[in-house]
Amino acid sequence: MSKKLNFSLLKKDSLIKVIIDNIKSLAIALIIALIIRSILIQAFVIPSGSMKPTLLEGDYIFVTKYNYGYSKHSFPLSLPILSGRIFYSEPKRGDVIVFKYPGDNSTDYIKRLIGLPGDKIQLINGDVYVNDILVVSEKIDESVPNSQYDISTYKETMKFDSQAEKTYNTWRLKRGLYKVDYISPFYVPKDSFFVMGDNRHFSKDSRYLDVGFIPKDNLVGKAQIIFFSINGSFLEFWKWFTEIRFERIFKPIR
């Protein structure tokens, strides 16, 4: 009787030990994942078309967190672990950046950085001037296939003495005079940035008062690469063969 009792206790102790070991392993894995997400790299999915043609709905991207240093927005739920920004390195014009929307400091936005602190910005007929230098814009496609709107594709080139040439494509509506295409000269405030979406007439960005300038502390990271892309729901795996955009997988974000 005593042997059976001891055997039962032994099995119970072993089971408890296994459970405790598993909990420890899960906790360690979670901590490592949080460290990687906060300090190194984080995955995002693109929910809208504001960055077309660079990024499409259903693109899954990796964003590196270390490029611009760290603030509380580097951490999950923007935990107030840090005050201000540490290890800061200024972004470059033309970078595709993820940041917290200034209106609520919690929603993630992704746009292209156009103006740095102190830059003079002006828009004339959709053309962008930075410090009185035109961001060269060349129409490369008269229309976008399968679009319900009359859209043309432009290649924009940023070339400034202080940084390497940056080239990317944008979309613009063809007809009409649009208010967001004409902005009087202004200067970007200290510790702030001016951003625009590549889909110029379908992007809520710094041209609108409810977005405005992006504070330095709201920077989350730099968009680097598309690691997966699907024209539909990721959960509908039975459609993957026809819906996955294989040509976009591992495509660098320019």
CB 126 within 8 A of CB 207: no
Candidate list 65, 72, 100, 111, residue with the active-site label: 111
| Tokens (6 digits) for 184 | 């009087």
Question: Is 72 annotated in the active site?
Answer: no
Distance CA 28, CA 48 (A): 35
Mean pLDDT, the chain, integer:
91
Please state the pTM of the whole predicted model.
Answer: 0.87
Which domains can be identified in the chain, with CATH numbers?
A: 36-252 (2.10.109.10)
For residue 251, the model assigns a pLDDT of: 97
What are the φ/ψ torsions at residue 185 (nearest 5 degrees)? -55, 140
> Which residue type is seen at 186?
F
Question: Is 111 annotated in the active site?
Answer: yes
For residue 237, the model assigns a pLDDT of: 84
CB 38 within 8 A of CB 74: yes
Give the other-Cβ count within 10 Å of 193's Cβ. Answer: 26
Beta strands in the chain (DSSP E): 41-45, 59-64, 96-100, 108-115, 120-124, 127-130, 133-134, 136-141, 151-160, 163-173, 183-187, 192-196, 214-215, 219-229, 251-252
Residue 72, SS3 per DSSP: helix
For residue 136, the model assigns a pLDDT of: 94
Q: Using 50, 70 and 90 to split pLDDT, how confident is the model at 4?
A: low
Q: What is the pLDDT of residues 191-244, one digit of tens each?
A: 999 999 999 999 999 999 999 999 999 999 999 999 999 998 888 888 888 999
For residue 10, the model assigns a pLDDT of: 59
Cα distances from 116 to residues 43, 176, 187, 205, 214, in angstroms, run 26, 29, 9, 15, 10
